[in-house]
Amino acid sequence: MDHPSWQAGVYAALKSARVTQLGYVPDAGHAQLIGAAHADPDMRPVVLTTEEEGIALAAGAWLGGQRAVLLMQSSGVGNCINMLSLPLNCRMPFLTLVTMRGEWGEFNPWQVPMGAATPGVLTQAGVHVRRADQPDDVAEMVAASAALAFDSCVSVAVLFSQRLIGAKVFVK
Partner 1 sequence: MTRTNDGTLDRRAVVLTLLRDPGDLLVVTGLGAATYDVGAAGDRPLNFYLWGAMGGAAMIGLGLALAQPDRRVLVVTGDGEMLMGLGSLATIAAAGAQNLSIAVLDNRRYGETGSQFSHTGYTTDLAAVAAACGWQATDTARSMDEVEALRPRLRSQALFAVLRISPEEKPRHLPPRDGAYLTDRFRRSLAVADL
* 57 contacts: CB under 8 Å, gap ≥ 6: 21, 23, 46, 48, 68, 70
CA distances from 69 to 25, 136, 169, 172 (A): 12, 21, 27, 35
- Residues in contact with partner 1, shown as a per-residue x/- string from 7 to 36 under the rule CB under 8 A: -------------xx---------------
Of 55, 122, 154, 164, the residue at the interface with partner 1 (CB under 8 A) is 55
CB 114 within 8 A of CB 122: no
Rank residues 53 and 132 by Cβ distance to partner 1 and give the closer one: 53
What count of residues does the chain have? 172
Rank residues 19 and 98 by Cβ distance to partner 1 and give the closer one: 19
Q: Which residues pair with 98 in a beta bridge?
A: 72, 159
Rank residues 36 and 83 by Cβ distance to partner 1 and give the closer one: 83
- Residues in contact with partner 1, shown as a per-residue x/- string from 59 to 98 under the rule CB under 8 A: xxxxxxxxxx-------------xx-xx--xxxx------
CB 25 within 8 A of CB 48: yes
Of 11, 17, 30, 53, the residue at the interface with partner 1 (CB under 8 A) is 53
Of 36, 57, 97, 158, the residue at the interface with partner 1 (CB under 8 A) is 57
41, with CB counted inside 10 A (0-12, 13-18, 19+), is exposed
Q: Under the rule (CB under 8 A), what is the footprint of partner 1? A: 20-21, 44, 46-50, 52-68, 82-83, 85-86, 89-92
